[in-house]
Amino acid sequence: MPKIVLVGAGRIAWHLGRRLKGKGLPVAQLINRSEEKARELADTLQTSWSTNFADLLPDADWIIIAVRDDAITSVAESMSPFVGDCLVTHTSGGTAGAVLAPFIPRYGVFYPLQSFSFEHTPVWSKIPFCVDAINQEDVLFLKRIAKTIGNLVYQVTDNQRTYLHVAAVFANNFANHCFSIAEKILDEQDLPFELLHPLMEETLAKALQDSPGRMQTGPAIRGDTATIGRHLDLLMQHPDWQELYKQLSKNINGELGMP
């Protein structure tokens, strides 16, 4: 039974802490800079908490840094005098594990590839865990933990994970932004967004079934410049959306003769 310390009280910390507890791997201590958030999550996890790294458990086995990407380095530096030989991992997809190297002797990455929100309970069996560490023993430990709380486990290097994170932004953040634009376009015409739900579901189903490139449909892949021109005219009042439509259409079919 590893003695686990969780650093952070944001979305990943909330979900990961509760999942660990639910699978018989309770968090032994929570550390967070905000006292209010630390107490709230610690109460949920039924564990001790602190806002000071000097209180870090001296016999901790694994420290999970679950904070914003831009705070990982400063957190690692602050905890460095109190870590000893404990394994320390962060949960970021876009940050190299090596950023911990100047401060932490044993470091790695424990990255659940999912977009977490407080409003939605994740389906852990469908979340890929991307793990890595500087020694193989720690890699095996992280794989065992990931298998215990999830199902899909991959060893992914720092370099691979940076490209994976870029791909995830396209697949999640950018796709969701397009959904948001579509919703606003319909809202301006007093049309419900649910009209697009079946199409969105079918698009994702096809992309999961085969290569998304082979599943591409629409006026751009057909080279239908007349339809594209009409769409661009309709977007005149939203030049940012118009430009995005134009650039995406060009990217889908670079031979389009669009202005």
pLDDT value of residue 259: 46
Q: Per CATH, is 163-252 categorized as 3.30.1330.60?
A: no
Which residue type, as a one-letter code, is found at position 80? Answer: S
Q: Locate 90 and state its tokens.
A: 């962060």
Segment 114-132, tens digit of pLDDT: 988 888 889 999 999 999 9
Mean pLDDT (whole number) for 219-226: 93
pLDDT value of residue 256: 46
- CATH number belonging to domain 4-156: 3.40.50.720
Q: With H, G, I as helix, E, B as strand and everything else as coil, classify residue 79.
A: helix
Q: For residue 78, what pLDDT band results from cuts at 50, 70 and 90?
A: very high
Percent of the chain with pLDDT over 70: 98
Confidence (pTM): 0.85
Crossing angle, helix 35-45 and helix 11-22, to 10 degrees?
A: 20
Which of 5, 19, 7 lies closest to 116 in space, CA to CA?
19
Are 4-156 and 163-252 the same fold in CATH? no
**Is 60 exceeded by the pLDDT of residue 258?**
no
**Is 90 exceeded by the pLDDT of residue 254?**
no
Kindly list the domain boundaries of the chain, sorted by start residue: 4-156, 163-252
Q: Locate 61 and state its tokens.
A: 């086995």
Task: Calculate the average pLDDT of the chain.
Answer: 94
Segment 125-159, tens digit of pLDDT: 999 999 999 999 999 999 999 999 999 999 999 99
**Distance, CA of 164 to CA of 155 (rounded, Å):** 12
Lay out the sheet containing 62-65: strands in order across: 48-50, 27-31, 4-7, 62-65, 87-90, 106-112, 128-133, 152-155
pLDDT value of residue 102: 96
Segment 173-186, tens digit of pLDDT: 999 999 999 999 99
